[in-house]
Structure 1
Amino acid sequence: MARDGSPIVEILAIFAIVFVLQYLAALFNLAVLAGLFVLQPPIESSPWTAVTSVYAHANLSHLVSNSVAFVLFGWPVARATSRAKFHAFFLATGAVAGVSQIVVTGALASAPLVPATPTAGVLGASGAVFALLGYLLAANRLSTSLGGVVSVPRWVTAIVFVIVAGFVTVATGAPGVALVAHFTGLLFGLVAGWFRVLRV
């Protein structure tokens, strides 16, 4: 396992740098710079924001809460995998979670008889943080030990993952929270943990 740097410290540093850039963009009213960080529809008009939005945050409390959860759930995962795999997992799950939030809420808003509004924009690491939580839940020693003793059909496992992801998402929901992104991140993390994709 590579120990050539801490992905936790590196990602926290990226959070801080991006937050400073966001602050400067707001302070000097730099619309061009501000548009680099928020993932919003139509996604194809600024596809890079699927990446940059993962490291951006709406305000200081958003940054702090995501950073604390990131350290809490990310630290054990980072210790069990390589630096490159951790970064790739964090970025991929965060981007997929953000894109899913935009796509699903956009689809719901255009559906007849569904009182929903499309997401104006998404930013933050919470989708990736929920993926780290899901990975921890599914890939820890207790889960893998039970999986070796008790034979459970894959379809039952899939249903349990969806129920757990739904329950945790609803339990952590609040106004303005990207629930679809949280659900997607957690579900991807559970599946990745089940298959132990970060194993080295």
Structure 2
Amino acid sequence: MAKCDVCGTHVDMPYNCRHCGGTYCSEHRLPENHACPGLENWNDPDGVFDSGFDATVESSAGSQSALDRIGIDTGAGGILGYFRNNVTYLFLAISVVVFAGQFLIAPLLGIRPVSGVDPGTTTWGQIFTLTTTNPEYVWTWVISVFSHGSPTHLLFNAIALYFFGPIVERQVGSKKFTALFLVSGMAAGLGQVGLGLVLGEQVAVLGASGAIMAIMGVLTITAPDLKVLLFFFIPMSIRTLTILFAAFSVFAVATQAGGNGIFSGVAHFAHLTGLFIGLWYGRRVKDRVGRGPKQLNLGPGGGGGGPGRGRF
């Protein structure tokens, strides 16, 4: 049973709006009855009708998108059709593929991580990690966002992205979500490397946690009362979770900067960088995306309840 975000009525079969991500009863299921932000763009193909995945949208029977012109079909039956308005799942798939490349394919080619050695001096590290040794390797700015250090690291990040990503993607559109994810992920890694350079420490960064924290930052502004389960069983609002996480990360960064290694091995400054980008962007789009959902739901238009924890 779910609760309508407008009137609070408990309903057995809720309607989940695919544009704003809200949960509604039959009375408020129509966009005009729950002030859906999509109404403002009803005549704008980049708003309601376009997922934002294509560069352009067909405006007439004879026009084609940029991807159509080069032979890639993004229609309902096309090879990329599934990823229209589902870039979150594309990023999940890329992370799994990159992880397989890290620990299955690369070792077969004789390329593997070396314990106790600066990753910036190994071929494996120079491919998959962003390091203080080689911060100028631009490809690592991107690939490090999709790389992970262990199955557990990948699992926690994948869970958080799976549950929170689709909500923000439906709020801002796939193109802007893609930019948010990549820019915040790269900025988070570069921020951690920058701090390492200032402190004179060797740092190797990999993981999507910075981008995921940006997603949570957006939701903290657009849907502050969204209920989540920390560690799968502690209920709280995403606003409370963000405050607790930010406080812990600030303390951890201060501890690391003071020379205490108790919280070493986790890129807390990267988490904070991603979070602040998300909070900033959430404030920019809050008035345009309208009311965010108050709970996560499995099924079309929603995600499922999950943890708010991730490691970089």
1:9 to 45, 66, 89: 89
* Post-superposition offset of 1:119: 4.1
Name the residue aligned to 1:103: 194
**Distance in structure 2 (CA, Å) of the matches to 1:192 and 1:21:** 33
Q: Relative contact order (alpha carbons < 8 A, sep ≥ 6): 1 or 2 greater?
A: 1
Note the aligned Cα RMSD (angstroms): 2.8
**Distance in structure 2 (CA, Å) of the matches to 1:43 and 1:96:** 16
Structure 1 pair 131–29 and aligned structure 2 pair: CA distance change class (3 A): same
* Post-superposition offset of 1:20: 1.0
Structure 1 pair 50–188 and aligned structure 2 pair: CA distance change class (3 A): same
TM-score after normalising by structure 2 = 0.50
2:132 to 41, 46, 57: 41
**Distance in structure 1 (CA, Å) of the matches to 2:177 and 2:270:** 19
Range moving further from structure 2, 34-43 or 118-127:
34-43
- The reply on whether 1:126 has 2:209 as its aligned counterpart is yes
- The reply on whether 1:166 has 2:246 as its aligned counterpart is yes
- The reply on whether 1:185 has 2:274 as its aligned counterpart is yes
Counterpart contact for 2:85–2:169, Cα < 8 Å: no
Structure 1 pair 194–168 and aligned structure 2 pair: CA distance change class (3 A): farther
Structure 1 pair 70–89 and aligned structure 2 pair: CA distance change class (3 A): same
**Distance in structure 1 (CA, Å) of the matches to 2:286 and 2:93:** 25
SS for the counterpart of 1:80 is: helix
SS for the counterpart of 2:197 is: helix
**Distance in structure 1 (CA, Å) of the matches to 2:224 and 2:213:** 19
Which of these two proteins has the greater Rg computed from alpha carbons? 2
**Distance in structure 2 (CA, Å) of the matches to 1:66 and 1:141:** 21
Match of 2:97, as an amino acid?
A: I
Match of 1:54, as an amino acid?
A: V
* Post-superposition offset of 1:45: 3.5
1:53 to 108, 119, 144: 144
Name the residue aligned to 1:196: 285
Match of 1:166, as an amino acid?
A: A
Name the residue aligned to 1:86: 177
SS for the counterpart of 1:29 is: coil
**Distance in structure 2 (CA, Å) of the matches to 1:198 and 1:71:** 25
Counterpart contact for 1:15–1:55, Cα < 8 Å: yes
**Distance in structure 2 (CA, Å) of the matches to 1:46 and 1:95:** 12
* Post-superposition offset of 1:81: 2.0
- The reply on whether 1:70 has 2:161 as its aligned counterpart is yes
**Distance in structure 2 (CA, Å) of the matches to 1:172 and 1:45:** 27
User: Where does the alignment leave 5 or more consecutive residues of structure 2 unmatched?
Assistant: 1-46, 52-83, 112-121, 227-242, 254-262, 290-312
Match of 1:138, as an amino acid?
A: I
Structure 1 pair 48–164 and aligned structure 2 pair: CA distance change class (3 A): same
Counterpart contact for 1:54–1:125, Cα < 8 Å: yes
Structure 1 pair 72–177 and aligned structure 2 pair: CA distance change class (3 A): same
| Alignment: residue pair count | 174
* Post-superposition offset of 1:85: 1.1
User: Where does the alignment leave 5 or more consecutive residues of structure 1 unmatched?
Assistant: 110-117, 144-162
Name the residue aligned to 2:110: 29
**Distance in structure 2 (CA, Å) of the matches to 1:172 and 1:108:** 15
**CA deviation map 1:46-91 (0-9, x unaligned):** 1210111001101111100110111222121011122111111100
Structure 1 pair 191–5 and aligned structure 2 pair: CA distance change class (3 A): closer
**Distance in structure 1 (CA, Å) of the matches to 2:212 and 2:285:** 17
* Post-superposition offset of 1:166: 3.4
Counterpart contact for 1:165–1:187, Cα < 8 Å: no
Stretches of 4+ aligned residues off by more than 6 angstroms: none
**Distance in structure 1 (CA, Å) of the matches to 2:248 and 2:183:** 21
Identical-residue share of aligned pairs (%): 34
